[in-house]
């Protein structure tokens, strides 16, 4: 049992055919925290997220979620267990109304319409703009609103752990700040533990408690957000921050 960790990953390896994209990654995500995985394009961050959520099977290593080995578990069972993956690129259903997108997020639940309605109200309190537009087709929303919808839809499954893959991608600095602030509030107020993948290191370290830096499929450095923010090496060599 791992009482303190929502997620513990041991020596994980994942391949695309002959290409080894994850080369022995180990990390922990403590209960109630925001942990970020940073790194350049192609470092293996998305592959790591896909392996945790069951979309990809690892060749080696273990994924332990709240004391249970979930390595190789089917994606739907992973969602039922309390992990939701918000993939890069949002992937909302463009022709469905915003409300129907949110209903899809609740499809694994069996706790009744009342509980789902309560969570819908909760989600709308964090994203009031989505409430105003709930009858609109999701494809007509702006990029930032689609990102909000993707997060909101994920919340409708009542996750204990949310995997967020580059929520800031393609958004203006103002929107990046707004979305990351909401992610932090959801963590604090709703108790959702967050594993946040970002290329935007500066923004991610502003909301995270702890960070891991990936390069070429490996974790090259890790530390508290404060430490990583202050480290010149981390900034220059791995994060490309000036
Ligand atoms: P990005 O920010 O672009 O998502 P990333 O850090 O998430 O980057 P991954 O997408 O996990 O990186 O990619 C890790 C490695 O695996 C890269 O070398 C990439 O070229 C390779 N890769 C990713 N997807 C595939 C695929 N479908 N088939 C083959 N190789 C892939």
Give the integer Cα–Cα distance in Å for 123 and 102: 9
User: Residue 1: what pLDDT?
Assistant: 53
Ligand 1 atom showing the smallest separation from residue 217 Cα = 14
Per DSSP, the residues of 211-242 read: EEEEETTEEEEEEEHHHHHH-HHIIIIIS---
Ligand 1 centroid distance, CA of 47 (Å): 6
Alpha helix (H) residue ranges in 5-54: 45-52
Q: Chunked in runs of 10, what are the mean pLDDT values of the chain (242 residues)?
A: 83 96 97 95 94 97 96 95 91 93 88 89 96 95 94 95 95 93 97 95 94 95 94 77 52
pTM over 0.95: no
Element (H, E) at 28: strand 19-30
Residue to probe by mutation, ligand 1, list 44, 164, 195, 212, most atoms within 8 Å of CB: 44
Ligand 1 centroid distance, CA of 43 (Å): 7
Give how far Cα 89 sits from Cα of 50, 86, 204, 208, Å: 14, 9, 17, 21
User: Residue 2: what pLDDT?
Assistant: 57
Are 30 and 6 a contacting pair, CB within 8 Å?
yes
What are 25's strand-pairing partners?
12
Nearest to 196, CA basis, from 23, 19, 33 = 33
Ligand 1 proximal residues by C-beta, below 6 Å? 16, 19, 21, 39, 41-47, 88, 199
| Atom 14 of ligand 1, residue of closest alpha carbon | 44
| Atom 25 of ligand 1, residue of closest alpha carbon | 16
User: Residue 236: what pLDDT?
Assistant: 78
Give the integer Cα–Cα distance in Å for 30 and 4: 6
User: Residue 206: what pLDDT?
Assistant: 94
Ligand 1 centroid distance, CA of 145 (Å): 26
Calculate ∠ Cα 20-79-160, nearest 5°.
100
| Atom 26 of ligand 1, residue of closest alpha carbon | 16
| Atom 17 of ligand 1, residue of closest alpha carbon | 42
Give the integer Cα–Cα distance in Å for 77 and 81: 6
Q: How far is CA 2 from the centre of its chain?
A: 21
| Atom 16 of ligand 1, residue of closest alpha carbon | 21
User: Residue 107: what pLDDT?
Assistant: 82
Element (H, E) at 76: helix 75-81
């Amino acid at each position: 049992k791992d009482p303190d960790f929502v997620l513990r990953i041991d020596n994980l390896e994942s391949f695309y055919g002959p290409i080894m994209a994850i080369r022995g990654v180990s990390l922990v995500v403590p209960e109630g925290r925001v942990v970020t995985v940073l790194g350049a394009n192609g470092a293996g961050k998305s592959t790591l997220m896909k392996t945790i959520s069951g979309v990809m099977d690892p060749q080696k290593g273990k994924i332990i979620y709240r004391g249970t080995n979930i390595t190789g578990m089917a994606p739907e069972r992973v969602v039922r267990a309390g992990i939701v993956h918000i993939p890069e690129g949002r992937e909302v259903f463009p022709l469905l109304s915003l409300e129907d997108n949110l209903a899809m997020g609740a499809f694994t639940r069996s706790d009744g319409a009342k509980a789902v309605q309560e969570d819908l109200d909760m989600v709308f309190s964090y994203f009031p703009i989505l409430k105003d537009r709930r009858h609109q087709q999701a494809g007509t929303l702006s990029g930032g609103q689609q990102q909000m919808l993707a997060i909101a839809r994920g919340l409708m499954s009542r996750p204990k752990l949310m995997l967020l893959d580059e929520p800031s991608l393609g958004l203006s600095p103002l929107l990046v700040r707004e979305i990351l602030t909401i992610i932090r509030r959801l963590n604090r107020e709703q108790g959702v533990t967050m594993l946040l993948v970002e290329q935007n290191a500066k923004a991610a370290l502003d909301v995270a408690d702890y960070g891991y830096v990936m390069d070429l499929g490996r974790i090259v450095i890790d530390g508290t957000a404060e430490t990583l923010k202050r480290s010149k090496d981390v900034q220059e060599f791995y994060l490309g921050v000036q």
